[in-house]
Structure 1
Amino acid sequence: MSKDYRSRMERRQSSDSSKPANQSKTKKPRRGRSWKKTLFILALILGVLGLLTIGVIAATSPKLDPKKLETPVSSKIMDMNDKEVSLVAGDEKRIRVKINEIPEPVQNAFIATEDVRFREHSGIDVRRIAGAAFANVREGFGAEGASTISQQVIKNTVLTNEKSLTRKIREAYLSVQLEQKYSKDQILEMYLNKIYFGNNAYGIATAAKVYFNKDVDQLEVQEAALLAGLPKAPSYYDPTRNPKEAEHRRNVVLNLMAQHKFISKEEAENAKSISVKDMIKEGEVKTETRPYDAYIKQVIDDLKEIEGLEEADIYSSGLKIYTNLDTKAQQTTEDVLKAKLNEEHEFLQSGVALVDTKTGSIRAVGSGRGGQLSNYYSSKITRQPGSTIKPILDYGPAIENKKWNTGYILKDEPVELKDITINNFNDRNVGDISMRQALVESKNTTAVRAFQEVGAEEATDFANKLGFDLDPDTTYPSYAIGGFNGGISPLTLAGAYTSFGNGGIYSKPTTVRKVEFPDGRVVEVDSEPKAAMKDYTAYMITDMLKDVMDRGTGREANVSGLNLAGKTGTTNYSKEDRDKYGLPDGATKDAWMAGYTPTYTAAVWTGYAENKDKEGNGLYLNDNEADYSKQIFRDIMSELDHKNTDFKKPKSVTEVAMEKGTGKRASEFTPDSEKIIELFVKGSDLPGISDSYEKPSSIEGLEAKYKENKNEIEVKWKYGKKKGVSFRVLASYNDGPMQERATINDTKFVVPSPAPGKYSFQVIAIDSENNTESEPAGTSITIEGPEGEEPPPGEGEGEEPGTPPGQEPGTEPPAEGEPGTPPDQGGGEGEQPGTPGTPPGQEPGTEPPTEGEPGTTPTPPGQNGGRQQNGGNGGGLVPPLNP
Structure 2
Amino acid sequence: MDIITPKRIRITLKTVRAFIFISILFFLLFSFMAGSFILYAKIQGPPSLSVPQTTIFYADNGTKIGESHNGEKRYWVQLKDISPNVVNATLAIEDRNFYNHSGFDYKRIAGAAIADIKALAKVQGASTITQQYARNLFLEHHKTWKRKALEALYTVRIELNYEKGEILEGYLNTIYYGHGVYGIEAAANYYFGKKAEELTVAEAALLAGIPKGPSVYSPYIDEQKSLDRKNVVLQTMKEAKFITKEQHEKALIEDITFRTRKGNAQNRIAPYFHDSVMKEAANKLNIDEQQIRTSGLKIHTTLNQNMQEIAEEVITKSIDTNSLIQTGFIAMDPNTGEVKALVGGRNYEESPFNRVTQAKRQPGSTMKPILYYAAVNTGFTPSTVMRSEPTTFQYDDGQSTYKPSNYNDYYANDLITLLEAMALSDNVYAVKTHLYLGMDELIKTAKQLGINTKLNKVPSLALGTSPVRLIDLVNAYGIIGNGGKRIEPVFIKKVEDANGNVLYEEKKDQEQILDEDAAFVTTHMMTGMFDKRLNSYTSVTGQGVANMLTRDYAGKSGTTETDSWMVGLTPQLVTGVWTGYDKGKSINIVEEKGYSKLIWAKFMEEALKNKASKKFKPSNGVIGVYINPESGKIATEDCPTERLTYYIAGTEPVQYCKAHIGEQKNDKQENSQSDTKKTWYEKIFKWN
Please tell me the TM-score bracket, short chain as reference.
Answer: 0.5 to 0.7
Give the distance between the partners of 2:353 and 2:57, measured in 1 at CA: 16
Query: Which ranges of structure 1 fall in alignment gaps of 5 or more residues?
Result: 1-57, 95-156, 159-175, 182-286, 573-588, 612-617, 697-722, 729-741, 746-849, 856-883
Cα gap change, 1:92/1:400 in structure 2, threshold over 3 Å: closer, same or farther?
farther
Q: Which string of whole-angstrom CA distances, capped at 9 and with x for unpartnered residues, describes residues 248-281 of structure 1?
A: xxxxxxxxxxxxxxxxxxxxxxxxxxxxxxxxxx
Q: Which string of whole-angstrom CA distances, capped at 9 and with x for unpartnered residues, describes residues 371-404 of structure 1?
A: 5374601211000001111001x211111222x2
2:528 matches 1:547: yes
Secondary structure in 2 aligned to 1:407?
A: coil
Match of 2:444 in 1: 461
Secondary structure in 2 aligned to 1:661?
A: coil
Q: CA deviation at 1:304?
A: 2.8
Q: CA deviation at 1:681?
A: 0.7
2:587 matches 1:609: no
**Residue in structure 2 matching 1:383, options 361, 364, 372:** 361
Where do 1:696-715 residues align within 5 Å? none
Cα gap change, 1:379/1:471 in structure 2, threshold over 3 Å: closer, same or farther?
closer
Match of 1:366 in 2: 343
Match of 1:357 in 2: 334
**Residue in structure 1 matching 2:552, options 563, 570, 573:** 563
Q: CA deviation at 1:680?
A: 1.5
Match of 1:298 in 2: 276
- AA of the residue aligned to 1:64: S
Match of 1:646 in 2: 615
Q: CA deviation at 1:648?
A: 1.0
Given that 2:385 and 2:418 are in contact with CA atoms closer than 8 Å, whether structure 1 keeps it comes out as: yes
Give the distance between the partners of 1:74 and 1:647, measured in 2 at CA: 43
Q: Which string of whole-angstrom CA distances, capped at 9 and with x for unpartnered residues, describes residues 407-445 of structure 1?
A: 221221233232331121222221200111111111100
Give the distance between the partners of 1:425 and 1:725, measured in 2 at CA: 34
2:489 matches 1:509: yes
Match of 1:413 in 2: 389
Q: Which string of whole-angstrom CA distances, capped at 9 and with x for unpartnered residues, describes residues 781-826 of structure 1?
A: xxxxxxxxxxxxxxxxxxxxxxxxxxxxxxxxxxxxxxxxxxxxxx
Where do 1:183-198 residues align within 5 Å? none
Q: Which string of whole-angstrom CA distances, capped at 9 and with x for unpartnered residues, describes residues 843-880 of structure 1?
A: xxxxxxx967999xxxxxxxxxxxxxxxxxxxxxxxxx
Q: Which string of whole-angstrom CA distances, capped at 9 and with x for unpartnered residues, describes residues 637-686 of structure 1?
A: 122133321111122111223344334334x5x51315443321112364
Give the distance between the partners of 2:403 and 2:73, measured in 1 at CA: 55
Where do 1:27-38 residues align within 5 Å? none
Cα gap change, 1:177/1:544 in structure 2, threshold over 3 Å: closer, same or farther?
farther
Cα gap change, 1:726/1:549 in structure 2, threshold over 3 Å: closer, same or farther?
closer
Q: CA deviation at 1:89?
A: 2.7
Match of 2:66 in 1: 86
Q: Percent identity?
A: 25
Secondary structure in 2 aligned to 1:673?
A: coil
- AA of the residue aligned to 2:271: D
Give the distance between the partners of 2:314 and 2:678, measured in 1 at CA: 65
Q: Which string of whole-angstrom CA distances, capped at 9 and with x for unpartnered residues, describes residues 30-61 of structure 1?
A: xxxxxxxxxxxxxxxxxxxxxxxxxxxx99x9
Cα gap change, 1:851/1:610 in structure 2, threshold over 3 Å: closer, same or farther?
closer
Given that 1:451 and 1:459 are in contact with CA atoms closer than 8 Å, whether structure 2 keeps it comes out as: yes
Q: Which string of whole-angstrom CA distances, capped at 9 and with x for unpartnered residues, describes residues 293-322 of structure 1?
A: 222111112223225233222111111111
2:481 matches 1:482: no
Q: CA deviation at 1:542?
A: 2.1
- AA of the residue aligned to 2:601: R
Give the distance between the partners of 2:648 and 2:154, measured in 1 at CA: 71
- AA of the residue aligned to 1:634: A
Secondary structure in 2 aligned to 1:359?
A: coil
Given that 1:409 and 1:661 are in contact with CA atoms closer than 8 Å, whether structure 2 keeps it comes out as: no
Q: Which string of whole-angstrom CA distances, capped at 9 and with x for unpartnered residues, describes residues 483-539 of structure 1?
A: 11xx12221121111123212223101111121123525222335343232222222
Given that 1:409 and 1:433 are in contact with CA atoms closer than 8 Å, whether structure 2 keeps it comes out as: yes
Where do 1:199-214 residues align within 5 Å? none
Match of 2:423 in 1: 440
Match of 1:398 in 2: 375
Cα gap change, 1:692/1:554 in structure 2, threshold over 3 Å: closer, same or farther?
closer
Given that 1:383 and 1:489 are in contact with CA atoms closer than 8 Å, whether structure 2 keeps it comes out as: yes
Greater Cα offset, 657-666 or 406-415: 657-666
2:662 matches 1:678: no
Higher relative contact order (Cα pairs below 8 Å, separated by 6+ residues): 2
Q: Which string of whole-angstrom CA distances, capped at 9 and with x for unpartnered residues, describes residues 567-602 of structure 1?
A: 111112xxxxxxxxxxxxxxxx11111101121111
Secondary structure in 1 aligned to 2:308?
A: helix
Given that 1:653 and 1:680 are in contact with CA atoms closer than 8 Å, whether structure 2 keeps it comes out as: yes
- AA of the residue aligned to 1:554: G
| Superposition TM-score, scaled by structure 1 size | 0.46
Given that 1:295 and 1:330 are in contact with CA atoms closer than 8 Å, whether structure 2 keeps it comes out as: no
Given that 2:557 and 2:565 are in contact with CA atoms closer than 8 Å, whether structure 1 keeps it comes out as: yes
Name the one with the larger strand percent. 1
- Kindly report the root-mean-square deviation, in angstroms, between the aligned alpha carbons of the 2 structures: 3.7
2:567 matches 1:594: yes
- AA of the residue aligned to 1:596: L
Q: CA deviation at 1:626?
A: 0.9
Match of 2:432 in 1: 449
Cα gap change, 1:457/1:692 in structure 2, threshold over 3 Å: closer, same or farther?
same
Give the distance between the partners of 2:390 and 2:641, measured in 1 at CA: 27
Given that 2:555 and 2:568 are in contact with CA atoms closer than 8 Å, whether structure 1 keeps it comes out as: yes
Give the distance between the partners of 1:633 and 1:291, measured in 2 at CA: 21
Match of 2:476 in 1: 496
